[in-house]
Protein backbone atom coordinates (compact mmCIF):
# COMPACT_ATOMS: atom_id res chain seq x y z
CA UNK A 1 0.00 0.00 0.00
CA UNK A 2 1.28 3.43 -0.84
CA UNK A 3 -0.18 6.22 1.24
CA UNK A 4 0.31 9.95 0.70
CA UNK A 5 1.73 11.60 3.82
CA UNK A 6 -1.02 14.20 3.63
CA UNK A 7 -3.50 11.42 4.53
CA UNK A 8 -1.75 11.09 7.90
CA UNK A 9 -2.80 14.66 8.71
CA UNK A 10 -6.52 13.96 8.31
CA UNK A 11 -8.18 13.33 11.65
CA UNK A 12 -11.22 11.15 11.91
CA UNK A 13 -12.64 10.73 15.39
CA UNK A 14 -11.02 11.54 18.71
CA UNK A 15 -7.33 11.91 19.50
CA UNK A 16 -7.34 8.44 21.07
CA UNK A 17 -8.94 6.89 17.98
CA UNK A 18 -6.34 8.60 15.78
CA UNK A 19 -3.48 7.30 17.92
CA UNK A 20 -4.91 3.77 17.88
CA UNK A 21 -5.26 3.93 14.10
CA UNK A 22 -1.63 5.01 13.67
CA UNK A 23 -0.41 2.25 15.98
CA UNK A 24 -2.48 -0.38 14.13
CA UNK A 25 -1.21 0.88 10.77
CA UNK A 26 2.43 0.80 11.89
CA UNK A 27 2.03 -2.71 13.36
CA UNK A 28 0.32 -4.04 10.24
CA UNK A 29 3.29 -3.04 8.12
CA UNK A 30 5.96 -4.36 10.49
CA UNK A 31 7.48 -7.80 10.41
CA UNK A 32 5.57 -10.14 12.66
CA UNK A 33 7.88 -13.14 12.59
CA UNK A 34 7.30 -14.80 9.24
CA UNK A 35 6.11 -11.80 7.26
CA UNK A 36 4.34 -8.47 7.52
CA UNK A 37 0.58 -8.44 6.91
CA UNK A 38 1.28 -6.09 4.03
CA UNK A 39 3.80 -3.46 2.97
CA UNK A 40 3.11 0.19 3.72
CA UNK A 41 5.08 3.00 2.14
CA UNK A 42 4.48 6.72 2.67
CA UNK A 43 4.80 9.08 -0.26
CA UNK A 44 6.32 12.37 0.99
CA UNK A 45 4.53 15.65 0.30
CA UNK A 46 5.70 17.53 -2.77
CA UNK A 47 6.54 14.36 -4.69
CA UNK A 48 6.07 14.99 -8.40
CA UNK A 49 3.70 12.29 -9.58
CA UNK A 50 3.70 10.57 -12.93
CA UNK A 51 0.59 11.67 -14.91
CA UNK A 52 -0.74 8.10 -15.01
CA UNK A 53 -0.77 7.90 -11.21
CA UNK A 54 -3.25 10.69 -10.55
CA UNK A 55 -6.21 8.48 -11.49
CA UNK A 56 -6.89 7.71 -7.83
CA UNK A 57 -6.98 4.56 -5.72
CA UNK A 58 -6.78 1.13 -7.29
CA UNK A 59 -6.05 -2.41 -6.13
CA UNK A 60 -3.85 -4.66 -8.24
CA UNK A 61 -4.67 -8.35 -7.91
CA UNK A 62 -2.03 -10.78 -9.14
CA UNK A 63 -2.51 -14.51 -9.20
CA UNK A 64 -0.09 -17.41 -8.97
CA UNK A 65 1.44 -18.95 -10.88
CA UNK A 66 2.77 -16.00 -12.81
CA UNK A 67 2.30 -15.06 -15.61
CA UNK A 68 -1.38 -15.67 -14.81
CA UNK A 69 -3.42 -12.64 -15.82
CA UNK A 70 -4.05 -10.05 -13.15
CA UNK A 71 -6.91 -7.70 -12.41
CA UNK A 72 -7.14 -4.10 -11.31
CA UNK A 73 -10.07 -2.99 -9.17
CA UNK A 74 -11.00 0.68 -9.36
CA UNK A 75 -13.51 1.65 -6.64
CA UNK A 76 -16.51 3.88 -7.23
CA UNK A 77 -18.68 5.87 -4.84
CA UNK A 78 -21.83 4.29 -6.19
CA UNK A 79 -21.43 0.54 -6.20
CA UNK A 80 -18.55 -1.84 -6.31
CA UNK A 81 -16.48 -0.05 -8.95
CA UNK A 82 -15.12 -1.99 -11.85
CA UNK A 83 -12.44 -4.50 -12.73
CA UNK A 84 -9.90 -4.07 -15.50
CA UNK A 85 -8.61 -7.30 -16.98
CA UNK A 86 -6.90 -6.11 -20.16
CA UNK A 87 -3.27 -7.34 -19.80
CA UNK A 88 -1.82 -4.11 -21.23
CA UNK A 89 -3.85 -1.95 -18.85
CA UNK A 90 -2.95 -4.17 -15.87
CA UNK A 91 0.74 -3.87 -16.82
CA UNK A 92 0.33 -0.07 -16.92
CA UNK A 93 -1.02 -0.08 -13.37
CA UNK A 94 1.83 -2.34 -12.23
CA UNK A 95 4.39 0.01 -13.80
CA UNK A 96 2.78 3.05 -12.15
CA UNK A 97 2.74 1.29 -8.77
CA UNK A 98 6.40 0.28 -9.15
CA UNK A 99 7.25 3.91 -9.93
CA UNK A 100 5.38 5.06 -6.81
CA UNK A 101 7.26 2.51 -4.70
CA UNK A 102 10.57 3.98 -5.88
CA UNK A 103 9.47 7.51 -4.93
CA UNK A 104 8.05 6.59 -1.49
CA UNK A 105 9.84 6.15 1.81
CA UNK A 106 11.06 2.63 2.53
CA UNK A 107 8.73 0.40 4.57
CA UNK A 108 10.99 0.87 7.65
CA UNK A 109 11.09 4.67 7.22
CA UNK A 110 7.32 4.69 6.68
CA UNK A 111 6.67 2.68 9.87
CA UNK A 112 8.93 5.06 11.80
CA UNK A 113 7.05 8.08 10.45
CA UNK A 114 3.67 6.53 11.28
CA UNK A 115 4.87 5.77 14.84
CA UNK A 116 5.92 9.44 15.11
CA UNK A 117 2.37 10.46 14.19
CA UNK A 118 1.03 8.04 16.84
CA UNK A 119 3.17 9.66 19.54
CA UNK A 120 2.10 13.13 18.46
CA UNK A 121 -1.62 12.26 18.37
What pTM was estimated for this model as a whole? 0.80
Domain count, the chain: 2
Same domain, yes or no, for 27 and 55?
no
Exposure of 65 in the CB half-sphere (CA atoms within 13 A): 0
Query: In the beta sheet, which residues pair with residue 4?
Result: 43
pLDDT score, position 104: 92
Same domain, yes or no, for 26 and 52?
no
Question: What domain range includes position 21?
Answer: 1-45+105-121
Same domain, yes or no, for 68 and 40?
no
Query: In the beta sheet, which residues pair with residue 59?
Result: 73
pLDDT score, position 52: 53
Non-local (6+) Cβ contacts of 13 within 8 A are 21
pLDDT in tens, the chain (121 residues): 898 898 888 877 888 888 898 988 888 877 655 665 678 999 998 777 655 556 678 899 988 887 778 999 998 887 788 999 999 999 999 988 898 899 999 998 999 999 999 888 7
Which of helix, strand or coil describes residue 69?
coil
Same domain, yes or no, for 53 and 99?
yes
Same domain, yes or no, for 24 and 66?
no
| Cα 64 from Cα 44, distance rounded (Å) | 32
Same domain, yes or no, for 60 and 78?
yes
Same domain, yes or no, for 21 and 64?
no
Amino acid sequence: MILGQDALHRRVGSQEIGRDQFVALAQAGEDSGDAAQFTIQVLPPGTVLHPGISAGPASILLFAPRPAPGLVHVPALSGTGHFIDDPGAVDGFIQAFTRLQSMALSPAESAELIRHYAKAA
